[in-house]
Amino acid sequence: MPSEPVLCSVADGVALVTLNNPPLNLVTLEMTRQLNELVARLAADEAVRVMVLTGSGSKAFCAGSDIKEFTRMMAPGVVVPQKLALENEAYSRVDDFPKPTIAALNGLAFGGGLELAVCCDLIVAEEGSRVALPEINLGIFPGSGGPVRVTRRIGEGRAKEMMFFGEPVQVETALAWGLVNRVVPAGEARAVALAMARTLAGKPAVGLAACKAAVDMAFDRPGEEAVQASLRLSQRAFESADCREGVRAFFAKEPPRFTHR
């Protein structure tokens, strides 16, 4: 495995995070630890306004866990403290990232790879790629949030079908289901995701954060509670410097120059 299983670069407000264990970018314990620490730092970095997550090479975004690590996980009471607790912490940190996130699927996304991708707000996938939750074929099931996050995107019936049969799904079908947002030509997922990210990096930070929080609350809170919480988000957005700039630019008929604070 490469000495740096997770790579990161930041430019123009966009953090590009790359899973670096080619050709399949399998998830190991060390990769999980590094991803968890990196995402925490990026969340607190004011220079980062959008995060893009992708994989090294052209074969896979991430094909899931390194099954070689499973042999020591099958004893009673071992897998959660030694693997899944940290994995769920890292994946939830991506899901809870306070700024927009985009997954660029440059190949297949299986198992934990798909579970990680659906932690992102948006997913861009290359033509010919496939997604799957094949854990059932190992006698287990998706243990890092997939049953919740995939179901939220595509509904109960399709999520159960993916998990029950464990069969790969073409990204063109995943697009029709709403599992991914865009399908692009092979080799272009990273470039398209970065272009989207740069566009988002120019949007007002408070407004984007409010959009993300309000949508997430639709799943996490009762309806009326979510509506009331969204009013507090609106109050904050209306009081922001970016709102003042957006209104000024509207009447001046010129592009806004947001401060992103």
- Residue 177 pLDDT: 98
DSSP helix/strand/coil, 141: coil
- Residue 1 pLDDT: 53
Encode pLDDT of 107-146 as tens digits.
999 999 999 999 999 999 999 999 999 999 999 999 999 9
Per cent of the chain over pLDDT 90 is 86
The residues with which 125 forms a beta bridge, in sequence order, are 105, 183
The dihedral region occupied by 100, where left means phi > 0, alpha psi between -120 and 50, and beta the remainder, is beta
The model carries a pTM of 0.94
Which run of H or of E encompasses 92?
A: helix 85-95
DSSP helix/strand/coil, 178: coil
Q: Which CATH class is domain 6-201?
A: alpha beta
Domain ranges across the chain? 6-201, 205-252
- Residue 78 pLDDT: 87
Kindly list the catalytic residues.
Answer: 115, 135
pLDDT at 261 > cutoff 80: no
Rounded to whole angstroms, how far apart are CA atoms 113 and 257?
37
- Phi, psi of 92, deg, nearest 5: -65, -30
